[in-house]
Each structure stands twice: as C-alpha cells, then as structure tokens.
C-alpha cells in the first residue's frame, strides 16, 4: 500500500475507474479499514459490508455505473457502495436524523437504483430494469448483488426462473455466497452449494479438465468442453442455475480482487455479446478482513459502538429487560408445560430472542431462512395436526406473508400465534423497517385476535392468552427495553377482549394501546393538576374491542382520545370510530397516531415526542380536544 491514501480522492465510481488496476487492492483495503473505523463510532451493519468490499469495488470498477444499474439485496452489504458513491463523509450521521440511511434509498443517491431493506428483491428489480432498458433500445446492463441469505427467499427463485425464460441477455446476478444471512444460512440450497464446492473430487476433476483442454488441438476443444459440461451434472453447483437458463460462472474467490476484476471483465463482454443472463458465484466470508467479525459474524452483523482495536463493545447501561428476552423466556416456560408449542423464525433467531428457545428445545425450534411466506404456511400445517406454532416475525417482515396469514391461517381458523416483534417506531433502521401497519392489515382478517401489552409484564400474560386461544392470534410488541416493571412470577391468561381501566374520570377518556398506556397515565396525572379528571383505559386488544367499556366511557366523558404507536389509517383508533358509528354514539374523538407519511430513520425518543406520544404530547392533545 502506498503512503498516500486513495479513498479520499474517490467521490464517484468514475474516480475509481480512472485509477490503474494495480491500485484497486489498496482502495479495497482502505474501504475495509474505514468501514471498521466509522462503524465503531456510529454503529451499523458491519460484517456483511466487510464481506462485500471486493465484489462492490469490482462492480463499480468494471461496469459503467450509474448507467449500468446496480441493485443490492437487503442493503446490509451496502456500506462500500455508499462510500464509493459520494457518501463517505456522511457516515458520521448514518441512521441519525437528517443523516444517510443504513439501507439503500433511491432518494439518497442516483447510484441507489432500488431501495433495499427486505431480502430477496434484487433479482426481480434488476430483471425489471434490464427489460425496461431493452424496451428502450439501451444495451446497458443490470447487476443484482444478492447475498446474506437473500437467495433463501422464494422470490429470488421466481425471478431467476422468469429471467431464464426471457433469456434476458443484459442481466447479471452476483451471488455473494458467504453461507450466512444474519444467523448461519439454513436449508437445502445452502447445504447443496456447500457440499458441491467442498467435494474434493470436484476440485480434482476441474484441474484435470483444464490440463486436458490445454493439450488438445483446436478442432477437439469444442468436444472436450461438452464433456466438461457433462461433469457439472455431478459436481458443479452451477447445474441448478444453468437449468434455470443462466450462464454460470464460478465459483470464484470473492476476496481476490484480481480474480473478481477479471471475472467481471469477462462477464461484461459476455453481456455485450448477448450471452446473458449470467450468474457469477462468488465465495466470500462475512466480516472478512476484521478478525473479530470473521470469528463471530453474527455478533458483528449489526453493532453498536465498539473499540476497533480490541473489538470490544461499549458496556451496556443497566436497564430493564428487553421485550424480546421476556418473550423468549416466557415462551420457554409455556413450552415446558405444553409439548405442542414450537417456535419458528425467518432467519432472525437472535433478533427475536428465539436463539435461547433453540438452546432449550432444539427439536421444537425451526429457522426457515428468509422465507416469511413459507414460515406462516408451515405454521399452518403444524397447527392442522394439533401443534401450537409460534412464528416470531418482525412487523415489517410479516407484511411479506399477508396472503398466507389471510388464506392459510385465518380463513381456516388455525391455532397459530404470531409474535410480532419490532412493532412501532424502530429508530435507525428507518422507513423499510418501521412497524406501523400490522394492526390495520391483521384487524381486517376473520378470526384474528390482535393484542398489545402495555409493558413487559403484561407481555407474559398476553403470550399465554394468545397460545391458549383456539384460533389465530397476534401479539405485537416493540423493540428494546421495557418499562422496568416487576415481572409476575405466575403467568395468567387475560380474558379475551377485556380492557383494563387504570384510572377513572368523567371529563375525558384516553384509550391507549400498547406502549402508549404508561405515557397516557402520566398525562392524566398531569391533567389532574389542571383540575381535570381524565380516565385511562388500557385497551389491550385492537380486536376484539372491549365495546362495553369503550361505549360507557364515551357516554360518561363525552370526549375520547385514542393513542397508539401505529398508522392512523386502519389502526386501533379507526376501530374505535367504527364501534361508535355502529353503536350510534356521537362524541368528539381524536386519533393520536402515526400520520400518513413515510417515517425515516432517527432517534426513537425524539420521533415519539414529535408525534406527541410522550406524556406532554398526550396531555396537550386532550386539552386541545376539550377546547374544541
């Protein structure tokens, strides 16, 4: 490496392409070093980005981005891309208000050709772009970089199948095969690729074939190549992709930049010759180049502040247990008493807390990979035979399986408990991960019960309620720590559809759902200082509503404020309005909820205060309602 740094002089891929090829390994080394240094101060997605440095550097060096389109899957691996496309100096505020996003966003850069936050989307999007460019007479390429388990998503194979059928000549798929999603990859495909690539006979035969071809006269090369192709039937992971209509290239060593560059040069020529679609299979290591992340890529997938030299994380401040931990420990307790309970995750064992369940009940735990649709219908099948499945899925990811929840679970009234993690505001992960819509899309479904605990203690009791309920039930809870309330030693079911009156009054009533119950009580206490007697109802259920208590409060108080950490459209407040309308009760109502707008990344506490979800904001909303 030369003494002079090269990365500060790269503001766009054109700057990268002006450098001599022999300088690019230095660029890759500087990228890796800077990613570690920057993320150690801000937190973010580390191991995935480190593992994709050479591939992203190679793509931008060889292809003519942004004219050639680059689509990244998920976005966890996108930090090298951001640094090479003019956003290096913005990393000090990644995931912060008015800073750059952790994931890819079309509005952020002309080099972000498609927003990425959910997995399995890159090939479909790139295929659409490639086809559109073909319609418009352009010969530009579209490149999909898929990794971190994105290939376990069924949508990826739907796109591969379609691209092969179209014989889409200007499409390149780069499979970043690091055998990891967030947790280690699972499933037959991952196992198939690993077995084939590790087969010693396959490696020997490939070497023999190359030596043999070098000895043949020109007129026999074509025959020999056909013979070599036939060996792929037995030994090459390319068989699957070639059966889908792709030209398979690889596997290549994804951290040898000279190999990556040569491969992409060849692939670019193949595309120009009309030999696409092409799939490049690159073998990489998640966390490559930073020993701590290489040794534990799961731990260093999404990180907080840490010491880049030692790899040690900043000590956590003591606080109440996380909702995810309370959920997992409660499910373990329930599973000890009921052997029918099984837990399901879609590649988020650690994030949902279910890795602990897996340790205690390994035979009753299933990680299906990044495949939420399959997870839900798999749960439905388990329920058909008398099991009590509990799929734990982030709110934003359960959206991907809406049809399965509706058709395969609710219409058949099957006994599936949905543990909906990360419901509400998620902070730095931003718009692609906000959990604002689950109440609306679940409340509309027949047979579904939708509930939300006011704190981590009530979560215990509601989980038992959901598991014991004979039919589909959804329990939504937020990310992070609880309120610090004591946990009851005995877990008791909550009466279905029964709300809890925490504070009575007749001047106004606050109907609160989930995380906003405690702030609502504080607001009522504050309003009491003004001489107002304000009732607070812990709704507990968005469906079924406690119609009797809500209508009684409406008639007695004459003014209602609903509060919820959810979209204002179709949420709990909308359910209350529907109840009042159906009952012929007309009183002033205000729904305090997330407005109809995209909510970007930021500090959760600041964002909640801006929406009026803190005690002061709720008290102000009541005063305004009374003033009207």
User: Is 196 in the active site?
Assistant: no
Cβ contact 302:45 at 8 Å: yes
| Catalytically annotated residue among 372, 458, 526, 565 | 372
* CB of 479 closer than 8 Å to CB of 323: yes
User: 9-13 long-range CB contacts below 8 Å, 24 or more apart?
Assistant: 10/83, 10/84, 10/88, 11/86, 12/84, 12/85, 12/86, 12/111, 13/60, 13/61, 13/65, 13/66, 13/84, 13/85, 13/111
**Side-by-side strand order, sheet with 69-72:** 69-72, 142-147, 171-177, 278-283, 247-253
DSSP string, 15-56: HHHHS-GGGHHHHHHHHHHHHHHHHHHH-EE-HHHHHTHHHH
Look up 372 and say whether it is catalytic.
Answer: yes
Q: Are 211 and 87 in contact (CB under 8 A)?
A: no
Residue 333 among the catalytic residues = no
Does residue 67 contact residue 292 with C-beta atoms inside 8 Å?
no
User: Could you say which of 400, 464, 479, 608 is catalytic?
Assistant: 400
3 state DSSP class of 470 = coil
In angstroms, the Cα distances linking 232 to 174, 215, 235, 271, 469 are 19, 21, 5, 23, 52
Report CA dihedral (78, 80, 86, 92) to the nearest 10 degrees.
80
Catalytic, out of 286, 388, 464, 540: 286
Tell me how far apart the alpha carbons of residues 430 and 263 are, in angstroms, rounded to a whole number: 35
Residues identified as active-site:
286, 372, 400
């Amino acid at each position: 490496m030369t003494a002079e740094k090269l990365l500060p002089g790269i503001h766009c891929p054109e700057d990268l392409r002006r450098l001599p090829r022999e300088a690019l390994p230095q660029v890759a080394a500087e990228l890796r070093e800077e990613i570690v240094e920057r993320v150690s101060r801000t937190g973010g997605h580390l191991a995935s980005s480190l593992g994709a440095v050479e591939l992203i550097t190679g793509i931008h060096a060889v292809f003519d981005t942004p004219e050639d389109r680059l689509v990244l899957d998920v976005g966890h691996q996108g930090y090298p891309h951001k640094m090479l496309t003019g956003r290096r100096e913005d990393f000090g505020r990644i995931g912060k208000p008015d800073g750059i996003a952790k994931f890819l966003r079309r509005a952020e850069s002309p080099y972000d050709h498609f927003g990425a936050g959910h997995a399995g989307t890159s090939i479909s999007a790139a295929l659409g772009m490639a086809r559109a460019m073909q319609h418009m007479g352009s010969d530009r390429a579209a490149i999909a970089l898929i990794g971190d388990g994105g290939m376990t998503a069924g949508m990826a194979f739907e796109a591969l199948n379609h691209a092969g059928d179209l014989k889409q000549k200007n499409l390149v798929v780069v499979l970043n095969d690091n055998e990891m999603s967030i947790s280690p990859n699972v499933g037959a495909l991952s196992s198939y690729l690993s077995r084939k690539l590790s087969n010693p006979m396959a490696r020997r035969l490939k070497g023999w074939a190359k030596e043999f071809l070098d000895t043949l006269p020109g007129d026999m090369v074509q025959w020999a190549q056909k013979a070599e192709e036939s060996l792929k039937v037995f030994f090459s992971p390319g068989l699957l992709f070639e059966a889908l209509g792709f030209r398979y290239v690889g596997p290549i060593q994804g951290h040898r930049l000279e190999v990556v560059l040569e491969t992409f040069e060849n692939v670019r020529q193949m595309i120009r010759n009309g030999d696409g679609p092409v799939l490049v299979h690159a073998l990489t290591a998640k966390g490559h180049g930073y020993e701590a992340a290489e040794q534990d890529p799961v731990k260093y997938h999404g990180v907080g502040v840490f010491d880049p030299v030692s790899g040690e994380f900043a000590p956590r401040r003591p606080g109440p247990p996380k909702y995810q931990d309370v959920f997992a420990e409660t499910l373990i307790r329930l599973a000890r008493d009921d052997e029918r309970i099984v837990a399901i995750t879609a590649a988020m064992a650690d994030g949902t807390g279910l890795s602990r369940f897996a340790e205690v009940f390994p035979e009753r735990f299933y990680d299906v990979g990044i495949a939420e649709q399959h997870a839900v219908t798999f749960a439905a099948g388990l329920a058909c035979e008398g099991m009590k499945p509990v799929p734990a899925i982030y709110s934003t990811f359960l959206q991907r399986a809406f049809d399965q929840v509706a058709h395969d679970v609710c219409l058949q009234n099957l006994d599936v408990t949905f543990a909906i993690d990360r419901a509400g505001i998620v902070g730095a992960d931003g718009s692609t991960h906000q959990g604002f819509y689950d109440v609306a899309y679940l409340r509309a479904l027949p047979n579904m019960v939708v509930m939300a605990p006011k704190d981590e203690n009530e979560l215990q009791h509601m989980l038992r309620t959901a598991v014991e309920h004979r039919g589909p039930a959804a329990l939504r809870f937020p990310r992070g720590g609880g309120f610090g309330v004591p946990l009851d030693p005995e877990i008791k079911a909550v009466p279905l559809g029964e709300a809890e009156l925490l504070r009575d009054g007749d001047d106004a009533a606050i109907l609160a759902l989930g995380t906003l119950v405690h702030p609502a009580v504080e607001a009522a206490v504050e309003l009491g200082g003004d001489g107002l007697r304000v009732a607070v109802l812990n709704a507990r259920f968005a469906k079924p509503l406690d119609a009797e208590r809500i209508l009684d409060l409406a008639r007695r108080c004459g003014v209602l404020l609903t509060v919820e950490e959810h979209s204002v459209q179709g949420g709990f407040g909308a359910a209350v309005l529907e109840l009042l309308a159906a009952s012929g009760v007309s009183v002033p109502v205000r729904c305090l909820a997330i407005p109809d707008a995209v909510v970007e990344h930021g500090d959760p506490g600041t964002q909640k205060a801006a929406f009026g979800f803190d005690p002061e904001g709720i008290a102000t909303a009541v005063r305004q309602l009374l003033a009207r």
